[in-house]
Structure 1
Amino acid sequence: MLEDYPKHVVLSDETVVTFRPMVREDEKGLVCFFQRIPEEERWYLRDNVADPRVIHRWAESLDHDRVIPILALIEDTIIADASLHRKRFGAARHIGEIRVIVDPLFRRRGLATWLVFDLIQLAISQGLQKLVAGVIARKEVAALRSLKRLDFFPEAVLSEYAWDKEGNCYDLVILAKSLQQHWVPLKNGASVRCRRAF
């Protein structure tokens, strides 16, 4: 599962970035990372990441059966946070949710695309069959474009799901990607469906 980390990718400007799972010792670095995310963008996140206590709770409750957080770093500085969320029980246990946020200084270099691609591979290794991601319409245009390039397709729109601090409403677009199944031929000429893809 996580034995393939750390991984190294090269951005469009030839910057070398390391991907690895979050560990408890990343707490301080994550606090600093989220302080560099504009307040307007933090407003739309699930948790109040401006509160160091939230990050402390994450660090103390790491559970890779529920959430796999992957960090992108240049040397010891965190420049992006990505995560794969999943359920281990119930009717939706075959579905994962992905979330990605990148330091503004490192956007438009292909980093988010690399992270999504990495989460796709991670989801496949976990046997997941579908990924979903939520994007705020008119606010996260670049994210929407990147996800579509990786074959995520809009499946639902939740009207007026998000409000900004001025009271303006925005829709939430739910995109999904099927982790395609391949047919593997058997010796007797029959076929069997293999639950690995991509």
Structure 2
Amino acid sequence: MQCPTCELGRRSLMATKVEGYPKKVYLKGGTLVTIRPLEPKDEVKLKEFFLSLPEEDRLFLREDVTKPEVVENFIRNLNYDVVFPLVAEYEDRIVGDATLHLSPYGWSRHVGQIRMVVAKDFQKKGLGGHFARLLVQHAMNIGLDKLVAEVVENQTGARKAFEKLGFVVEAKLKGHVKDIHGMKRDLLILSNDCSHIWESMESSMLDYNPSAGE
């Protein structure tokens, strides 16, 4: 039986999930961006962000984010207890989106899943590292033990990025994904304990400035 006191503690932590935001962080090259939780008012900006992504970056996303109803449905059902969403803003434009997906109940309530996508002109500048650090930190704050990331076989850059963060490949599902062109692809499941991922990020000295300009 699950300890009621433990569950109460978990809910209390969730109640403080947005403390410390927004955060202003420097990327490589000195660009200053703001990272904060997604809000309903961001619907138009989020649509514009997804529409701006090149096809190669949308090819393996779970849903067709170019469809307005996909974004509208996500915004309408915002629930930080189920999905904790962060966006990065630069000059009133969303340039990155990262989410921590939770299972508040059931046998995987100690596990979260990380997903992220970054605008083409903001890739390879350290934004993914900032997102990852904040999401891992949030996961630990709310009592998660393990994080999972899913990467399609062709996403070699994403796989390397997650492995650099401490994720390791645990499974390969053959033909599990159909891309936007209908082609079947293998899906890699990467994971690790939150504490190990955090230690890996610390040891790799990721480019991170947690509160510049706050």
Question: Is the pair's TM-score, using the shorter chain for normalization, greater than 0.5?
Answer: yes
Q: For the residues of structure 1 that align with 2:94 and 2:21, how far apart are their CA atoms?
A: 16
Aligned partner letter, 2:70: V
1:53/1:109 CA distance change after superposition, 3 Å: same
Q: Superposition pairs for residues 54-93 of structure 1, below 5 Å?
A: 54-93=70-109
Deviation at 1:171, TM superposition (A): 1.5
Question: Which structure has the bigger radius of gyration?
Answer: 1
**Structure 2 residue 160 is the aligned partner of structure 1 residue 151:** no
Q: Deviations over 1:120-157 (max 9, x none)?
A: 1111111000000001112x211111111111111111
Q: For the residues of structure 2 that align with 1:14 and 1:3, how far apart are their CA atoms?
A: 25
Q: For the residues of structure 1 that align with 2:179 and 2:50, how far apart are their CA atoms?
A: 19
SS at match of 2:195: coil
SS at match of 1:180: helix
Q: For the residues of structure 2 that align with 1:23 and 1:165, how far apart are their CA atoms?
A: 28
Q: Deviations over 1:61-94 (max 9, x none)?
A: 1101100110011131100000000011100000
Give the aligned partner of residue 133 of structure 1: 149
Aligned partner letter, 1:48: D
Aligned partner letter, 1:19: I
Percent identity over the alignment is 38
SS at match of 2:19: coil
**Structure 2 residue 198 is the aligned partner of structure 1 residue 180:** no
Give the aligned partner of residue 11 of structure 1: 27
Give the aligned partner of residue 114 of structure 2: 98
Q: For the residues of structure 2 that align with 1:35 and 1:76, how far apart are their CA atoms?
A: 16
**TM-score scaled to structure 1, two decimals?**
0.86
Correspondent of 1:161 among 165, 176, 179: 176
Aligned partner letter, 1:173: L
1:93/1:106 CA distance change after superposition, 3 Å: same
Structure 1 gap ranges (5+): 182-196
Deviation at 1:58, TM superposition (A): 1.4
1:65/1:167 CA distance change after superposition, 3 Å: closer
1:86/1:34 CA distance change after superposition, 3 Å: same
Give the aligned partner of residue 192 of structure 1: none
1:119/1:165 CA distance change after superposition, 3 Å: closer
Larger RCO: 1 or 2 (CA < 8 Å, sep 6+): 2
Q: For the residues of structure 1 that align with 2:195 and 2:95, how far apart are their CA atoms?
A: 31
Structure 2 gap ranges (5+): 1-16, 200-214
Q: For the residues of structure 2 that align with 1:180 and 1:165, how far apart are their CA atoms?
A: 35
Aligned partner letter, 2:165: L
Aligned partner letter, 2:162: L
Aligned-residue RMSD, C-alpha: 1.7
Deviation at 1:2, TM superposition (A): 1.0
